Homo-oligomer: A and B are copies of this chain.
């Protein structure tokens, strides 16, 4: 049993971590902080938690340093560029840190991070040993890591949809198209013109076409898997619903394949993965079937007369796309069952 801490517990990712960790069988205590609501009780900010703290926390939102002090593992759910210093402290004190911002998503490639996030690193050393926390890509490294960079939500859906093909060199790499769609929780807790119900309800559109920050991360993962540069065209869209991401991914096959062949390959590749479900041929992935869960459902389609592969992957952006995957990483870090605390059955509706 460990103590887990959440720095930034009142953002959407933070409170989703609270939801999962409070029922986690290996977490004995929770320590919480929030800049916006320091000194208040999380139950007053999120009354869904009323009566459910289960003795793991009194709900009081303290400061970040106290969280680090109290915890065996620290989750940082903060704006980009802030987690570094907590990582440094954790390393020093022999604690683990799982960051849910972009800070540790590019390993030691400061240049790319800086180009897309506009910030330099203050603690370059902590990046040297950090590990990108996509278990399906880096499980063994994760187990031995101290600092984990939890992947972006779109990135998780996109990467998992093409990993087996890239690993085997079966698709062309000059133009992989990721047409992705996300629910509005992806915009976070801060109210903006974008997430005003009257603006995004009953409406649908792409945004940040050709310039979304998840593009370089997807390209990085795909290139890593392919062993050579992959050109990624990534277009996110906003769906008038709360949770869920669909990535519809198009890639040209190096040579024609049947759906059955591709499906067999995916089934084999993911057969031991606890959170990737390769759907039977003829089925199509939907956000509906993964809502509230840590699953990534993928469905295989071969189109254009056998020349083009079309993959559909579905995740809950707040779970496998954020808090759930972070808990999965925690489980790997501490040797817990990989599914501990994230084995909820998704509701049918």
Residues of chain A touching chain B, judged by Cβ–Cβ distance below 8 Å, are 12, 15-16, 19, 22-23, 46-52, 174-175, 177, 179, 181, 183-185, 187, 189, 191-193, 195-207, 209-210, 231, 233, 235, 237, 239-244, 246, 248, 250, 252, 277, 279, 283-293, 297, 299, 301-305, 307-308, 310, 312, 314, 318, 344-349
Contact = CB atoms under 8 A, between A and B. Distances in A.
Contact of A48 (B187, B189, B312, B346): B346
Contacts of A285: 205
The 9 closest A-B pairs by CB, nearest first: A205-B286, A191-B191, A203-B288, A48-B289, A184-B197, A179-B179, A210-B303, A48-B346, A202-B241
A62 B94 CA distance: 55
A242 B299 CA distance: 26
A248 B209 CA distance: 10
Contact of A202 (B233, B291, B308): B291
A256 to B, nearest CB: 13
A307 B246 CA distance: 25
A199 B288 contact: yes
A287 B239 CA distance: 11
Given A15-B348, A235-B248, 11 more contacts: A47-B297, A48-B291, A177-B179, A179-B179, A191-B191, A199-B288, A203-B244, A203-B291, A204-B241, A210-B310, A237-B246
Nearest to A52: B345
Nearest to A14: B348
Nearest to A282: B209
Nearest to A347: B19
A4 to B, nearest CB: 15
Contacts of A307: 174-175, 231
Quickly give the copy total for this chain. 4
Contact of A241 (B51, B203, B290, B345): B203
A248 B205 CA distance: 9
Contacts of A50: 277, 279, 289, 297
A305 B343 CA distance: 42
Contact of A233 (B184, B192, B303): B303
7 contacts: A16-B347, A49-B348, A189-B196, A197-B200, A198-B242, A209-B312, A243-B349
Contacts of A346: 48
A49 to B, nearest CB: 7
A206 B290 CA distance: 15
Nearest to A276: B51
A246 B238 CA distance: 11
A250 B196 CA distance: 29
Given A205-B284, A284-B206, A310-B235, A349 B199 contact: yes
A277 B51 contact: yes
Among A246, A286, A301, A347, find the residue whose CB has the most chain B CB atoms closer than 10 A: A347
Given A203-B286, A210-B303, A312-B209, A345 B23 contact: yes
B303 A12 contact: no
Contacts of A12: 198, 348-349
